[in-house]
Amino acid sequence: MSLIEVSHVSKEYEVLVPRQGARNVLKNIFCPDKKKVSAVSDVSFRIHAGELVGFIGENGAGKSTTIKMMSGILFPTAGNITVADLCPYRKREENARNIGVVFGQRSRLNWDLPMMDSFELYKEIYQIDSNVFRKNVDRFVEMLRMQDFYHTPVRQLSLGQRMKAEVALSLLHEPPMLYLDEPTIGLDVMAKQQIREFIKERNRLEGTTTILTSHDMKDLDCVCQRIIVLAKGSIIFDGSMERFKKEHTKEGVSDIEDMVRNIYEENVFTENSGCSKVE
- Does the footprint of other proteins cover residue 77 (CB under 8 A)? no
Amino acid residing at 217 = M
| Bridge partners for 64 per DSSP | none
Which of 31, 124, 265, 272 touches other proteins (CB under 8 A)?
Answer: 124
- 241 vs 260, which CB is nearer to other proteins? 260
CB of 155 to other proteins, least distance (A): 14
- Does the footprint of other proteins cover residue 184 (CB under 8 A)? no
Which of 2, 44, 105, 156 touches other proteins (CB under 8 A)?
Answer: 105
Which residues, including other chains, have CB under 8 Å from residue 25's CB and lie 6 or more apart? none
SS3 category, 63: helix
- Does the footprint of other proteins cover residue 97 (CB under 8 A)? yes
- Does the footprint of other proteins cover residue 164 (CB under 8 A)? no
Which of 4, 52, 55, 103 touches other proteins (CB under 8 A)?
Answer: 103
**Dist CA 22 CA 6 (whole Å):** 46
**Dist CA 107 CA 125 (whole Å):** 17
CB of 31 to other proteins, least distance (A): 13
Cα dihedral 258, 261, 265, 267, rounded to 10, equals 120
**Dist CA 94 CA 119 (whole Å):** 20
Which residues, including other chains, have CB under 8 Å from residue 254's CB and lie 6 or more apart? none
- 194 vs 214, which CB is nearer to other proteins? 214
- Does the footprint of other proteins cover residue 59 (CB under 8 A)? yes
Which of 39, 228, 230, 235 touches other proteins (CB under 8 A)?
Answer: 39
**Dist CA 17 CA 33 (whole Å):** 5
CB of 278 to other proteins, least distance (A): 15
Which of 43, 52, 53, 74 touches other proteins (CB under 8 A)?
Answer: 74
- 203 vs 213, which CB is nearer to other proteins? 213
**Lateral strand order in the sheet of 234-240:** 99-103, 177-181, 209-213, 52-57, 226-231, 234-240
List of residues contacting other proteins (CB under 8 A): 13, 25, 28-29, 39, 59-60, 63-65, 68, 71-74, 92-94, 96-97, 99, 101, 103, 105-106, 108, 117, 121, 124-127, 181
